[in-house]
Amino acid sequence: MNISMTKSKALVTIPDEMVINKIYVIRGQKVMLDRDLATLYRVETKHLKRQVNRNIERFPKDFMFEMTKEEFENWRSQFGTSNFSDKMGLRYAPYVFTEHGVLMLSSVLNSPKAIQVNIQIMRVFTRIRQALTDNTELRLAIEKLEKKTDNNARNIEMVFQYVDELLEQKKKTKPRKQIGYKIPKKK
């Protein structure tokens, strides 16, 4: 086995749950915060931000954005922070990275550790996307079955309605006189 391959595999073993717990939904997108990524990459947040700022052309708004004050307050409230003067150790609004932004970070933080962490994060994002796709397909199949069931229920209801109408008509009709030869009944 190649020694460099063994080193790169031994570099990073982060539980997937740890990565999943650091993915948030902001502006309707699955994102990760700069401080969480810095923790995973084992670098300081200011170093991560510095590298991003030096390569800002690699991070358009759909890759990375800065959290607004309202978004920051909303995000903090999710964690039940009672002291609003405390900014959870943040002096500046955090950078928020979409999946593509996280992928771009591997080119900015060009170390074996960062590349391995990045690969793991991308795999987690892929699994989340696949789970959502699987759930969507399942939901569509269930909706299709519900529509069939609804149609069958309507059809059965119509059959019962017709049967009721026929029974009503039968009750309303008077017995008709027999026409033709009448054979006397034997007594």
Q: pLDDT tier at 7 (50, 70, 90 boundaries)?
A: very low
DSSP 102-122: HHHHHHHS-SHHHHHHHHHHH
On whether residue 104 sits in a domain, the answer given is: yes
On whether residue 112 sits in a domain, the answer given is: yes
On whether residue 174 sits in a domain, the answer given is: no
On whether residue 1 sits in a domain, the answer given is: no
Higher pLDDT, 7 or 24: 24
| Sign of the C-alpha dihedral computed for residues 161, 166, 167 and 168 taken in this order | positive
On whether residue 92 sits in a domain, the answer given is: yes
pLDDT per residue as tens digits for the range 87-110: 455 667 789 999 888 888 877 887
Query: pLDDT at position 64, please?
Result: 92
Per the structure, the count of domains in the chain is 1
Cα 146 from Cα 68, distance rounded (Å): 42
Q: Does the global pTM surpass 0.75?
A: no
Range of the domain at 35: 8-139
On whether residue 75 sits in a domain, the answer given is: yes
On whether residue 2 sits in a domain, the answer given is: no
On whether residue 185 sits in a domain, the answer given is: no
